[in-house]
């Protein structure tokens, strides 16, 4: 079940925190989140899941910035959210989607207990100019059935745009040490 806008407002401070919060951004069944003024792009031609890929920061000027097709841009929300006992989900706004801008590639669902800023994986179908502060996406809250375990994640309590940390999953002991071979657990015994 998805919470209505009125229910989102009722649960603020209890199961939902949005900072900053503006009641004018409540929709019938969601809340609009806005785009921060920084973006991040990967500098690698080929992205490697097994290592931390180099990134470059871009500040969105007052006149906006044009996003190019076939380029992934990481951004983040201005708002920091905390969700307890609900499942948060972000989706692009229809007005943004009608410009051919995807706000997340695949990571729209959050976990119950997530606290932090939402990293946006933005991809443009054709060149599109974007502006900092734009209400870029909406957050939706789903009721959760069953007991919730404590949420812990490498992305929990982030303070910035968060590039992929997949390499930590692939080799948690060695992280991104280029001197050590990555065996991905293939040689480990299963006993």
| Active site residues per annotation | 121
CA distances from 183 to 47, 109, 172, 174, 177 (A): 19, 30, 11, 10, 13
DSSP reduced 3-state for 5 = helix
Q: How far apart are CA 17 and CA 114, in angstroms?
A: 11
DSSP reduced 3-state for 180 = coil
DSSP reduced 3-state for 13 = coil
DSSP reduced 3-state for 166 = helix
For 171, the token pair is: 């080799």
């Amino acid at each position: 079940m998805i919470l209505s806008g009125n229910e989102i407002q009722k649960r603020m401070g209890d199961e939902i925190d949005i900072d900053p919060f503006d009641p004018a951004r409540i929709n019938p069944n969601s809340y609009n989140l806005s785009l921060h003024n920084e973006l991040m792009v990967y500098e690698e031609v080929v992205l490697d899941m097994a290592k931390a890929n180099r990134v470059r920061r871009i500040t969105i000027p007052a006149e906006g910035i044009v996003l190019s097709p076939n380029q992934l841009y990481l951004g983040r929300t201005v708002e920091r959210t905390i969700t307890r006992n609900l499942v948060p989900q972000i989706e692009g706004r229809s007005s943004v989607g009608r410009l051919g801008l995807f706000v997340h590639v695949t990571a729209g669902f959050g976990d119950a207990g997530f606290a932090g800023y939402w990293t946006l994986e933005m991809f443009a179908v054709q060149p599109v100019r974007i502006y900092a502060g734009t209400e870029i996406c909406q957050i939706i809250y789903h009721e959760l059935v069953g007991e919730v375990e404590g949420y812990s994640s490498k992305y929990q309590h982030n303070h910035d745009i968060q590039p992929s940390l997949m390499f930590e999953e692939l080799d948690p002991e060695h992280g991104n040490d280029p001197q050590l071979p990555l065996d991905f657990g293939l040689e480990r015994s299963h006993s």
